[in-house]
Amino acid sequence: MAATEALAEQIGKRLQGGEVVELVSDLGGGKTTFVRGLARGMGSHDHVASPTFTISREYHAAQLTLYHFDFYRLREPGIIAAELAEIVDDPKAVVAVEWSDIVQYVLPEKRLTVRLKTTGENSRELEFSYPDELAYLLKPVIPMQSTNSNKFNKLDSGSSPE
C-alpha cells in the first residue's frame, strides 16, 4: 500500500462527519490517492476514481458518505457550488475537494488543507493546515507542532502518483 494512501486511511478512521478536506497539488500529485485512503479508512469498499470528468463522486461507508469534488475543468462552479454548500453542512458527510480555487467562498474556514508535493519519483511531502478543532484527525497519526501546520515526508515506493 502506498504511504500516502496509508496515511490518509489513518485520517479516514478518525473522521466523524462534517469535516472538509481541501487537497492542493499539481496534476498527478496524489490527490485521488489520498481520497482513496480516506474512503478506505471510513470503511468504504467503493471504487475510488478521480472525478475530473464527472465533477463529483460519492463513496459510502456504514455511517458516513464521502463526497469527492474536482473543479479542475470548471471555470465557474455554477450550480455545483450550491450542491457543495448544502453537503458541507451535512453532519453525516465528509467532503474532499480538489482544485478548490473557484469555490473558496463556499468552503468553511474550519477545514483540513492537505498540500501534496512530489519530491522525487517515488516520494511526496505532505503539509497539513487545520484549526484546533480538527487536530483530532492528525494527532495520533503524525507528530504535532504548535503551529497547526505540519510537514510530513513519506516515501511512496513503487506507487503511481494518482
Domains of the chain: which residue ranges? 3-155
Distance, CA of 121 to CA of 113 (rounded, Å): 23
User: Could you tell me which of 126, 92, 91 has the C-alpha nearest to residue 112?
Assistant: 126
pLDDT recorded at residue 65: 95
Please tell me the predicted confidence (pLDDT) of residue 108.
87
| Domain 3-155 superfamily per CATH | P-loop containing nucleotide triphosphate hydrolases (3.40.50.300)
Residue 73: per-residue pLDDT: 63
* CA 65 to mean position of chain CA atoms: 13
Q: Where are the alpha helices (DSSP H) in the chain?
A: 3-12, 31-42, 79-88
The pLDDT value given to residue 53: 63
Distance CA 29, CA 21 (A): 16
Q: What is the pLDDT of residue 125?
A: 87
Q: Which pLDDT score is estimated for 76? A: 66
Mean pLDDT by 10 residues, the chain (162 residues): 85 95 84 94 91 77 92 65 82 90 80 88 85 88 54 43 40
Say which DSSP state 108 is in.
-
